[in-house]
Structure 1
Amino acid sequence: MPDSNLIETVRVELADRSYDILIGDNLLMQAGEKIKSVLPNAKCAIVTDENVAAIHLEALQENLKAAGIEAKPIILPAGEATKSYTHLQTVIEAIIEMRLERGDAVVAFGGGVIGDLAGFAAASVRRGMNFIQIPTSLLSQVDSSVGGKTGINSPQGKNLVGAFYQPKLVLADTAILNTLSAREFRAGFAEVIKYGLINDADFYDWLEQNWDGIQEGGEKRIHAVATSCRAKAAIVARDEFEAGERALLNLGHTFGHALEGITKYQSDVLVHGEGVAIGMVLAHAFSARMNQSSPDDTVRVTNYLKKVGLPTDMSGLRNHVKTADQMMDFIAQDKKVSRGNLTFILTHGIGQSYIANDVPAAEVHAFLTEILES
């Protein structure tokens, strides 16, 4: 795999809570040095999962030890089901038993599940400890590790319990992504594509032309991750608590979260990025149905997602997704209903997404019914 000495720095500007996202190959081997520069005297709890621990935990522990940082791991099962009350309690109690203080740090070392759970634990223990993100999946590097959304799932829906809580530092080692399965890498890439579709048609064009280079690694992968982080950081800086513009980052997620909920977060059936990929196609198709965009855009997005190897429709989920009512139950939880209307992220075209308030629930129901009956 190509290697690069390039390190890109993306600054998330949030006044006295601003922090850097460092993006480059082999940053894991600099973790101790980088954490020490931000938190000179902190002890650490490393929250990770069994899969990441088996491959990377020893290297991280040795690097932190060499930097003089005392750190102990908390190893959880892998998978979306870990984002639960039960595992949150496990992490919180372990941190307290370690006698870590408010000035110490919780290090999230894993994908989005670990980052969300560990961040919520950091926000909760002693009413707020320091928090470091070392995301190990493409999805978490470009999305969930940036912007401070933390939380767990409820039986009623995804991410319904949590807090906005910003990290002190994010270390995105792009070489570590070489250990991901092809499925995990593709699923994370759905979130990269999302940034082009939201408001950067030029980036989307570049992605269409550079998929092979991004898979291969090195500077093109670093560029894709850094551009994604820069796009999200800019939105978060303007709208940290999702009062307005930040909702654009949910393109594809309202439909995608519903699919995840219906399939009960079973990763063998559907992972988050796959749900987002299907959701982005549905968002473009629904926009075309509402005469807001051209059907040609839906075709273009569908074709590229297929090229990448991502699902673009619900045909593989027919054993789970049977009716529009099922979808609507989860959609109503994901985006609050107001007098029977919903908020969706729709589009006027590639790179022209917008927040559509007061979308009639009946229109969404009819759209989903047509798809599921076709």
Structure 2
Amino acid sequence: MYTLDVDASTPYRVHIGTFLLERVGAIAREAAGGRRAVIVTDSNVGPLYAAPVKTGLEEAGYETGVFTFEAGERSKRAQTYISILEYLASRELTRTDVVVALGGGVVGDVAGFAAATYMRGCRLVQVPTSLLAMVDSSVGGKTAIDLDAGKNLAGAFWQPSAVVADVGCLATLEPAQFADGCGEVVKHAAIADADLFAELERTPLTLDLLMRDVERTALLIARNIDIKRAVVAADERESGVRKLLNFGHSIGHAVEACDRYRTGHGTCVAIGMVAIARAAAARGACPA
């Protein structure tokens, strides 16, 4: 297992490894405290992983509930967000209790926004289950929902108390889902680590590599998180250097919207990186 500490306004630790789902309760107990917990998950992830996380939370002394919504970007809207808030209220969560976001980027964003605003902010533990969520959206404190006018237009900066990335969860992804998450992996390498970029060129991060070498995959994920945590520590609220993390995103978000969110976020970011890099080269801002 690897651990990385994020030096944000609310410091927290990221845990990366295998067989960590069962330890979410113990990690939450140490990092967040509280008496009640609600797991927020979606219809794809919940049937796979909610049970061991719930068991671990209960063993750690939490009175635990589970809220599940329909998987997909279309659920990252105000209706889902309000439904989560109503469920938290029905479970009588307080400000010192815990929301556990179990799933990919959509789950982390909408559950995080609910945690940021319920009773003006309660504790949050991010448990990312997709590659994209592990290397990017679970770390850094950005939470949001989509509006008709665009993606992530309503949200808040809200740092978690802990992040738990169980690399074993990636084994249940489809190859296309895993490849989609690699868009953010390549982005981190492009903006901050030429050696990592060259390594990915030589040996691409694939689902097959995960199956053959879990330890190397976990290390690659940790290296990505290390890049992001350094940027977040330098500029938590995106007033300067953190804008580097948006490489490819302006065009990528436009592609997502035009495609009605049928193409994955990481793939759209990859399209955006290619387009903006070609434009920069054409203008002489970088070599071909």
- Report if TM-score (shorter chain) is over 0.5: yes
Q: 1:215 aligns with which of 189, 210, 216?
A: 210
Find the counterpart in structure 1 of residue 41 from structure 2: 48
Distance 2:200 2:30 in 1: 34
1:112–1:137 CA contact under 8 A, matched in 2: yes
The whole-number CA distance in structure 2 between the counterparts of 1:249 and 1:117 is 20
Given candidates 61, 79, 83, the residue that maps to 1:86 is: 79
| Conservation of the 8 A alpha-carbon contact between 2:127 and 2:163 | yes
Which residue is equivalent to 1:148?
141
Shift of 1:209: 2.2
User: Equivalents in 2 of 1:18, 1:66: separation in Å?
Assistant: 25
Measured in 2, the distance between the counterparts of 1:13 and 1:209 equals 32
CA distance in 1, matches of 2:126, 2:33: 16
* 8 Å contact from structure 1 (residues 149, 162) kept in 2: yes
Other structure's SS at 2:5 match: strand
- Does residue 107 (structure 1) correspond to residue 103 (structure 2)? The answer is no
The alpha carbon displacement at 1:40 in A equals 3.3
Match of 2:233 in 1: 237
Post-superposition, which runs of at least 4 consecutive aligned residues in structure 1 deviate over 6 A?
A: none
**Offset at 1:214?**
4.0
> For 2:209 and 2:136, how far apart are their aligned partners in 1?
17
- Equivalent-residue separation in structure 2 for 1:234 and 1:108 (angstroms): 23
Aligned length in residues: 285
Q: Which has the larger radius of gyration?
A: 1
Q: Which has the higher contact order (CA 8 A, sep 6+)?
A: 2
**Following the alignment from structure 1 to structure 2, what is the Cα–Cα distance between the partners of residues 134 and 280?**
27
Amino acid corresponding to residue 164 of structure 2 in structure 1: L
The one of 32, 35, 51 aligned to 2:25: 32
What does 1:41-190 correspond to in 2, within 5 Å? 41-190=34-183
Q: CA deviation at 1:156?
A: 0.9
Shift in CA distance, 214/236, structure 1 to aligned 2, threshold 3 Å: farther
Query: Are residues 1:264 and 2:260 paired?
Result: yes
Structure 2: any 5+ residue segments left out of the alignment?
none
- The unaligned stretches of length 5 or more in structure 1 are 1-6, 296-374
Question: What amino acid does structure 2 have at the position aligned with 1:73?
Answer: V
CA distance in structure 2 between the aligned counterparts of 1:116 and 1:37, rounded to whole angstroms: 23
Work out the CA distance in 2 between the residues paired with 1:286 and 1:42.
Answer: 53
1:367 aligned partner: none
Which residue does the alignment assign to 2:221? 225
**Aligned 8 A contact 2:37 2:57 in 1:** no
Q: TM-score, normalised by structure 1?
A: 0.74
TM-score (norm 2): 0.96
- Rounded to whole Å, the distance in 1 between the matches of 2:242 and 2:12 is 18
Letter in 2 for 1:203: L
* 1:114 positional shift: 0.5
CA distance in 2 between counterparts of 1:174 and 1:25 reads: 5
Output one character per residue of 1:86-107: Cα deviation in whole Å (capped at 9) or x when no partner.
1111111111111100000111
CA offsets 1:57-88 (integer angstroms, 9 cap, x no match): 11211222222222100000000011101111
Partner of 2:3: 9
Partner deviation per Cα, 1:292-317 (whole Å, 9 max, x = no partner): 2222xxxxxxxxxxxxxxxxxxxxxx
CA distance in structure 2 between the aligned counterparts of 1:96 and 1:242, rounded to whole angstroms: 32
For residues 156 and 14 of structure 1, what CA distance do their matches in structure 2 show? 30
Instruction: Name which of structure 1's ranges 284-293 and 226-235 shifts more when overlaid on structure 2.
Output: 284-293
Q: Percent identity?
A: 40
Please tell me whether the aligned partners of residues 33 and 96 of structure 2 are also in contact (alpha carbons under 8 angstroms).
no
